[in-house]
Structure 1
Amino acid sequence: MNLPSSGTAARVLVALYSSLLLACTSLPRINPDMVHSPVAQVQLDGARGPLSDAHSKAILDRLKASGMETNIFDLHLAIEEALVGSPLTAGNKVDLLQDGPQTYQAMLSAIESARDHINMETYILEGDEVGQRFAEALIAKQRSGVQVNLIYDSVGTLGTPPAFFARLRKSGIRLVEFNPVNPVTAKAGWELNQRDHRKLLIVDGRIAILGGVNISGVYSGGSFAPGSRRQAGKGLPWRDTDLRIEGPVVADLQKLFISTWDRQKGCELVARHYFPPLERKGNEVVRAIGSSPDEPYSQIYATLISALHSAQSEIWLTSAYFVPDPQLLDALKAAVARGVDVRLMVPGSTDSWLVFHAGRAYYAELLEAGVRLYERRDALLHVKAGVIDGVWSTVGSTNLDWRSFLHNQEVNVVVLGADFGARMREAFLGDVKGSQEITLAAWQRRSIRARMSERIGRVWEYWL
C-alpha cells in the first residue's frame, strides 16, 4: 500500500477536521414564540386577490369547526403568517397521488392538455424508458407551439446522456442546468453542494403537480399492487406521494419556478401567459412554500417547527431520509411529553446507506421519549409528508434531514382542513400496514455492526 507524504497526510487531516467542525454547525434556531402575536389577523387570498377580513375569518372558522380539538388555528396560523412570505390561498382543488404510475399518468395528462406553456423542474431526469416517454411528450408539445421550459439538477442527472438533453434543446425546449458540476458552464456562480431537489410541473399556469417523484424507471411499479416490483422484478417497488393542484395557489408555485430560472441566469423566457386569471376550483386552503440555501433559513423548516410546537393531539410524519437536527429532535420529544401521539414512518431499506444509518442513530433517543417508529419493509419509501392534528398537512420534496434544510432548494405545500387531513391519515395508516413497528426492547438488541454503522453515518450527517 502506498502511503501519502507527510504534507499530503496533513492536508487530509485538516480537511477531515474541518469537515467534522462543519458537521457540528447548527441550523438557525427557530423560536415560534418570538414571532407569535395573539392579535395577528390571518388573511387569506382568493382567486381575485386578498379576501376581506370577514371572509377570511369565516373560512378559518369553518376549518376550526371541522377539525379536532386543537389550537392550531389560533396559534400556528399566526406563527406561520409571520415566518413565511407566501399567502394562505383559498379556493383550491387538491388531489392526492400515490406512487409513480398514478403520478406519471397525471403529469402526462396535464402535459397533453397544455395549450400555452409547460414549466417543469426536477432533480432526476433519466434517459431510460420513462425519461424517453416524457421527452417525447414534451417535444411533441413544443412542436405544436406550446413553450416548454425545463430546469434539471446537474448532480441528479449525472447519469443521463448529454444527447438526451441535446435532443430536447434542438426541438426548441428551453433548458437550465441547475448549478452545473462543470464550473466552466456555471452562469450563476459555482455552488456544487447546493442542489435543486424540487419536483414541480406547472401547465398553462393553471395546473401544478409536485411532491417526491422523480422522472425515473424505478417508479414504474406501484407499491400497493400485490407482487409489484421495480425494474422488471429487481428490488422493491418505490412508494412516493405527489399532489395535483388547481386553483389560485398555482400562481405562487409559478413564481417559485420563474425565480429559480432567473437566479440561475436562464435565457429570457419566451412570452407566454404565465399568470392567467385563476378561478376558484375547490375548497382547500393551501400555502406554497419554497426554500433555498440562499435564504437566511429554510421557510419549510420554520413552518414545520412551528406546526410541531402547535400540535395538540397527533404528529404523523413520513420521511424517506431522516436525519434530525437537535431542534427537530427536541420538538418531537417535547410533543410526546405534553401528550401528543407522535409517529414517524421511515424506510426499512434505502438507496443511501449513510443517510439510512445516520437516521437510525437517533432511534433509541426517540423511542425512549415515547415516539412510535415504523419502518416500511415491503417498498422503498420515498415519501416526504406529514399530517398534524388531522387538519394541517404537508407534501413536497423536503426530507427531515440536514441536506433538505440547509443545502437543497425544495418546495412543499401546506393544506389546511380536516377533509384533506383525513386522506393523509388514511395514507399514513396504509403505510403502517406494510411496516414493522420498532420497539425500544427490540432496538436495544441490535447488533454491534448496526451500532457501528450508525456511528459512521452520524459523522457525516451534515453533508448527507
Structure 2
Amino acid sequence: MRLFRHLLVSAIALLGLAILWGCSSLPVIVPDLGLRRGPPVQLEGARGPLSAAQSKSILDRLSQSGQPTDIFSRHLALEEALVGSPLTTGNRVLLLQDGPSTYQAMLAAISAAQDHIHMETYILEDDEVGQRFAQALIEKQQQGVQVRLIRDSVGTMGTSETFFRRLMESGIQVLEFNPINPAAVRTEWLLNQRDHRKLMIVDGRTAFLGGINISSVYSGGSFSRASRVRPGGEASWRDTDLQLQGPAVAELQKLFLATWEAQKGEPLQSLNHFPEPVPAGHQVVRVIASSPEEPYSLIYATLLSAIGSAESSVYLTNAYFVPDPQLLAALMDAAARGVDVKLILPSQTDSWLVFHAGRGYYDLLLTAGVKIYERRGVILHSKTVLIDGVWATVGSTNLDWRSFLHNHELNAVVLGGEFGQQVNAMFAKDLAASNAIVLEQWRRRSLDLRLKEAFARLWAYWL
C-alpha cells in the first residue's frame, strides 16, 4: 500500500512534467546562505521575549555544554533571518524511540486531555493501532473534549470511509487535506501537495511530532532482535518522535490552526487553544515548518546552514535520501574540512525508486570522505540530525525532492549538549545495528544494481 501511495504521488507529479521539461537545470531551492549580520539572537520564554542579556547568557551556556562549535555564533543568526519563528526557552523535550513508546505516551496524553485534542497525520490506518487511537479519541469526544483530525488524502486513501465516518458520527471534526476526489475539493485542486506532518497537540500544553504515523507497522521495537519482526514475518519500522511541553507548543498550535483554516475546516469553537504558558523545563527549541507555498523549504535551508556551520560532526539518519546538488555539496564540503560526517540510511525500504536513487550518490559521497551506513533488520523511517553534539533536529522531513518542494513538513530544532547526548546515544545504537558501506566493495556491486540506480535517478525530482 505504501509503495502504491508513493507511485501515485509520483504519477501526479508528472502532470507538471511538460512545464518543467524545458528547464535546463534543477532549481536552487534555498537562498544564499552566506553569513548575514543582524541583531543578536533573542529568545522567548513563557512570558514573552527575554532581554538581550538573558538571551546571550542562555546561548553562552548552551555553547559551552557541547564540543567547540560555531553553531551558536554563525548559524543561529542566519537561522533567525531565514525562519522567523521564535527560539523559545523553558521547554521540556522527551526523545521517543520507536512506535511502542511513542504510542504509549500519546495515548496517555489523550487519556488526560481536558479541553481539546488536535491531530495531523499523513497515514492513519484501519488496523489494530489505528483502532486503538480511534477508540481513545471517540471516548474523549464523548467526554466533552473537542477532537479535530487533519488527515492527508493520499496517505489515508487505503483507510475505509467507514473508519472516518465512525469518528465523525461521534462528533470528531475530520478534515481531508487536499482531497484526491475533485468533487470534494474546497480550494484549489493541488494533488501533488501533500500534508506529510505528524503532529498531535493536547490542551495546548503537550505536543508530539516526528516521523511516526498511526499504523501497526510500528508495533514492534527496532533495537531488540526479538521484537524486530512483527506478526506475519514483516520487519518493524524504526522511527523517532518528540514529546514537547512549554512555550514551543504554542508555535505548533499556530501551525495546526493555520492548516485547518487554509483547508476550509469547520469554524473553530472558542476553546482554550493558547493557555497561559508556563515553563516546563530548560530546553531551547525552535519549531520550523515548510510548505510548497514558500519560495524555499525553511527546514532545508536551516539544515544546510547548520551543516555549513559544523566544526566537528554531522550525524544524519534519514529514511528517504535523494539529495539535491546543494545538500551533496554541503555534506562533501563538511567532510573536506575535517568534520566527521556519518549517514545512517535504510538497507530495505517501502519505496524502490527512492532507495535506489539515493544509492546512486554513494560513490560520490564516499569518495569525498562521507561515511555511509545502512540500518539492518528494520524499515528505517527516522529523520534526525545531530551537529557538533549541540544542534539536533527531529521531524517529518525526508532528504528528497518531495519533502523539499512538494510536501508540508514539520521539524523541531533542539539546542544544547544535554539533549544532544541523548540523540548521540540513539545514533550510536543505530550505528551498532548498521553495516558500513566501503567504497572499494561498493564499486564492485552488480550491474543489476547499477542499472536500478541509473533508472531511479532519472525520477529524482519527482520522488
Specify the TM-score bucket, using the shorter chain as the normaliser: over 0.9
Deviation string for 1:370-423 (max 9, x for gaps)? 000000012110000000000000000001111011000000000000010011
Asked if the contact 1:23–1:459 (Cα under 8 Å) also holds between the matched residues in 2, the reply is no
CA distance 1:420–1:412, change in 2 (3 Å): same
The AA in structure 1 aligned to 2:268 is L
- For 2:438, the equivalent position in structure 1 comes to 439
The answer to whether residue 300 in structure 2 is matched with residue 306 in structure 1 is no
- Which consecutive segments of 4 or more residues in structure 1 shift more than 3 A? 13-24
Q: 1:293 to 1:370 in 2, by over 3 A?
A: same
Inter-CA distance 22–195: structure 2 relative to 1 (3 Å threshold): farther
CA contact under 8 A between 1:230 and 1:238: conserved in structure 2? no
Quickly say closer, same or farther: Cα 1:16–1:192, change in 2 above 3 A: closer
Q: Kindly report the root-mean-square deviation, in angstroms, between the aligned alpha carbons of the 2 structures.
A: 1.5
Partner of 1:185: 184
Q: CA deviation at 1:26?
A: 2.0
- For 1:312-331, list aligned pairs within 5 A: 312-331=311-330
Secondary structure class of the residue paired with 1:32: coil
AA at the equivalent of 1:26: P
Provide the rounded CA distance (Å) in 2 between the counterparts of 1:176 and 1:395: 25
Residue in 1 that maps onto 2:219: 220
Partner of 1:31: 32
Cα contact 1:355–1:457 (8 A) shared by 2: yes
Displacement of 1:33: 1.1
8 Å contact from structure 1 (residues 130, 216) kept in 2: yes
CA distance in 1, matches of 2:388, 2:22: 38
Report if aligned partners of 1:219, 1:230 keep a CA contact under 8 Å in 2: no
Distance 1:17 1:441, change over 3 A: farther
**CA 1:21–1:455: 2 relative to 1, 3 Å:** farther
Please state whether the residue corresponding to 1:125 is helix, strand or coil: coil
CA 22–275 in structure 1, closer or farther in 2 if over 3 Å, else same = farther
Alpha-carbon separation, structure 2, partners of 1:21 and 1:128:
44
| CA pair 238-23 structure 1, distance change in 2 beyond 3 A | farther
1:119 aligned counterpart, secondary structure: strand
Q: Please report how far the alpha carbon of residue 17 of structure 1 lies from its aligned counterpart in structure 2 after TM superposition.
A: 6.6
Deviations, residues 137-178 of structure 1 (Å, cap 9, x unaligned) = 000000000000100000000100000001111111111100
Going from structure 1 to structure 2, the CA distance change for 1:132 and 1:396 (only over 3 Å counts) comes to: same
Are the structure 2 counterparts of residues 23 and 377 from structure 1 closer, same or farther at C-alpha, using a change threshold of 3 Å? farther
How many angstroms does 1:217 deviate by?
0.8
CA distance in 2, matches of 1:181, 1:137: 28
Question: What does residue 54 of structure 2 align with?
Answer: 55
| Distance of aligned partners of 1:127 and 1:159 in 2 relative to their CA distance in 1, 3 Å threshold | same
Q: Distance in 2 between matches of 1:344 and 1:459?
A: 23
* Whole-Å separation in 2 of the counterparts to 1:443 and 1:420: 35
Q: Percent identity over the alignment?
A: 61
Would you say the 8 A contact 1:20–1:459 is kept in 2? Answer: no
- Per the normalisation by structure 1, the TM-score is 0.95
What is the rounded CA distance, in whole Å, between the counterparts of 2:33 and 2:201 in structure 1?
Answer: 32
State the distance in 2 between where 1:22 and 1:74 align: 38
Q: Distance in 2 between matches of 1:23 and 1:158?
A: 35
Return the offset for 1:455: 0.8
Paired residue for 1:205? Answer: 204
Matched, 1:287 2:286: yes
For normalisation by structure 2, the TM-score amounts to 0.95
* Deviations 1:212-244, CA, capped at 9 Å, x for gaps: 000001000011122214540422111000000
CA distance in 2, matches of 1:19, 1:61: 47
Displacement after TM superposition at 1:71 (Å) = 1.2
C-alpha distance in structure 2 between counterparts of 1:82 and 1:447, whole Å: 47
Q: Which moved more, 1:289-298 or 1:226-235?
A: 226-235
Say whether the 8 Å CA contact 1:301–1:405 is kept in structure 2.
yes
Q: Which residue of 1 aligns with 2:70?
A: 71
Letter in structure 1 aligned against 2:90: G
Letter in 2 for 1:267: E
Residues in 1 aligned to 2:23 and 2:102: alpha-carbon distance in whole angstroms: 38
Q: CA offset at residue 189 of structure 1?
A: 1.0
Tell me which residue corresponds to 1:196.
195
Please report how far the alpha carbon of residue 30 of structure 1 lies from its aligned counterpart in structure 2 after TM superposition.
Answer: 2.7
Name the structure 2 match of 1:418.
Answer: 417
Letter of the 2:309 partner, please give it: S
Which amino acid counterpart does residue 53 of structure 2 have in structure 1? A
Q: Distance in 1 between matches of 2:260 and 2:126?
A: 23
CA distance in 2, matches of 1:23, 1:106: 49
Tell me the distance in 2 between the aligned counterparts of 1:212 and 1:425. Answer: 18
Cα deviations by residue, 1:314-348 (Å, 9 ceiling, x for unpaired): 00001000000000000000101111110101000
Q: 1:172 to 1:54 in 2, by over 3 A?
A: same
Q: 2:406 and 2:398 mapped to 1: Cα distance?
A: 12
Q: Secondary structure at the match of 1:462?
A: helix
1:66 shift after superposition: 1.1
Q: Provide the aligned length of Structure 1 versus Structure 2.
A: 450
The verdict on how the C-alpha distance between 1:17 and 1:194 changes in structure 2, with shifts beyond 3 A counting, is: closer
Map of 2:83 onto structure 1: 84
Amino acid at match of 2:254: K
- The CA distance in 1 between the partners of 2:159 and 2:23, in whole Å, is 32
Please say if residues 178 and 191 of structure 2, whose CA atoms lie closer than 8 Å, have aligned partners that are also in contact: yes
Contact 2:89 2:247 in 1 (8 A): yes
Counterparts in 2 of 1:130-279, with a 5 A limit?
130-279=129-278
In 2, Cα distance between equivalents of 1:284 and 1:150: 28
